[in-house]
Amino acid sequence: MKMHLLLVFAFIVVVSAQPQCDPETQYEKNGACCKMCPPGTRMLSSGTCDEPRCEDCGEREYQDKYTTEPKCQRQPYCDPNKNFNQAIHVSKKKATICECKHGFHCSSEQCIICVPHTICPQGKGAKIKGNHSRDTECEVCTDGTFSDVSSWDSECKKWTECGNDYHIKETGTASSDNICGELLCVGRKFVKFFTCRSPVLCGRVFS
Ligand SMILES: *[C@@H]1O[C@H](CO)[C@@H](O)[C@H](O)[C@H]1NC(C)=O
C-alpha cells in the first residue's frame, strides 16, 4: 500500500515538472517553454529560447504555422501552360492556391491541370456554369427557350414575344428565336408576315 502511494506521488511530481507549453506557439527545450518563430518566417540557429531569431521567408516561399524550422516551404507554381492563372496576391503566411483560368476547371481533386469547360452547342444551354472546381452542365432548351450560340456559359433564353401589331412569322426552335413579322397594308387588307413600311396604316391583326 505504501509502495503504491509512493508511486502515485512520484508520478505526480514527474508530470507537474513538465512545463505546459502552448503547442501552437512554443516548444519545449531542457524543461523550458521556448518561443517559436511566427508564420511567414523561419528560425535561425543563433537565437535563444526567449528571443528566437526569425527571418522572413524568401520570394515564392511560405510558412503557415509558428515554427522551429530553419527553412520555409516553396510556393506551388501556377503554370500558365496548365491553364492556371498566374498567382497575384502571394502571402508568405500561406500556400498559394492556383486558380484555373476563366473557362477552365480542375481535371481532378488534386487539381494538377485545368481543362476547358464543356461547350453547349446550339439548341443547348448551360444549366450549371462551370467554375474553377466544376465543369459546365448543358441542358436541351425546351418550353419556348432557345440558344443560338455554342458556349460554356450561355443559358437558354426565352423566345421573343411578338406583340399585338406583329405576327409570329417563324416559330422558334431550341436553337432559334421566334421571328416576328409586322403587318403590311395592301389596299384595305392586312397581309401577314411582311415588314410594315408605314406603321400608321397598320394596326390590326389580319385574320
Ligand atoms: C462552383 O459552382 C458550384 C455550383 O454552381 C458551387 O457549388 C461552387 O461553390 C462553385 N465553386 C467555386 C470555387 O466558385
**Lowest mean per-residue pLDDT among 3-12, 13-22, 99-108, 114-123:** 3-12
Looking at residue 169, its pLDDT comes to: 83
Looking at residue 181, its pLDDT comes to: 78
Top-confidence residue, 66 or 86 = 66
- In 3D, which of 88, 87, 64, 63 has the Cα closest to residue 76? 87
Q: For the CA atoms of 27, 30, 32, 37, what is the dihedral angle to 10 degrees?
A: -30
- Mean pLDDT on 37-55: 96
- The domain tally of the chain equals 3
Question: How many angstroms separate the alpha carbon of residue 137 from the centre of ligand 1?
Answer: 12
Looking at residue 196, its pLDDT comes to: 45
Instruction: Note whether 177 and 128 are same-domain residues.
Output: no
Looking at residue 11, its pLDDT comes to: 47
Instruction: Note whether 52 and 84 are same-domain residues.
Output: yes
Kindly tell me the burial class for residue 137, based on how many C-beta atoms sit within 10 Å of its own C-beta (0-12, 13-18, 19 or more). middle
Question: How many angstroms separate the alpha carbon of residue 134 from the centre of ligand 1?
Answer: 7
Domain assignment of residue 51, yes or no: yes
pLDDT tens track for 156-172: 999 998 877 677 888 99
Positive/negative CA dihedral, 151, 152, 156, 162:
negative
Instruction: Note whether 32 and 91 are same-domain residues.
Output: yes
DSSP state of 131: B
Looking at residue 190, its pLDDT comes to: 53
Print the domain residue range for 181. 159-200
The answer on pLDDT for 2 being more than 70 is no
Q: Are 160 and 177 in contact (CB under 8 A)?
A: yes
Instruction: Note whether 73 and 129 are same-domain residues.
Output: no
Instruction: Note whether 181 and 113 are same-domain residues.
Output: no
Positive/negative CA dihedral, 28, 29, 35, 37:
negative
- Mean pLDDT on 176-183: 83
Question: How many angstroms separate the alpha carbon of residue 130 from the centre of ligand 1?
Answer: 8
Residue where a domain terminates, one of 73, 99, 125: 99
Instruction: Note whether 54 and 88 are same-domain residues.
Output: yes
What average pLDDT does the structure give for the chain?
84
Domain assignment of residue 150, yes or no: yes
Which atom of ligand 1 lies at the shortest distance from residue 134's CA?
1
Kindly indicate the confidence band of residue 184, based on its pLDDT and cuts at 50, 70 and 90. low
Q: Are 135 and 129 in contact (CB under 8 A)?
A: no
Instruction: Note whether 25 and 66 are same-domain residues.
Output: yes
- Mean pLDDT on 128-150: 96
Residue where a domain terminates, one of 79, 99, 119: 99
Domain assignment of residue 15, yes or no: no
Amino acid residing at 96: T
Which atom of ligand 1 lies at the shortest distance from residue 131's CA?
1
* Residue bearing the CA closest to ligand 1, atom 5: 128
Q: How distant, in Å, are the alpha carbons of 101, 105, 110, 204 from that of 118?
A: 14, 10, 20, 46
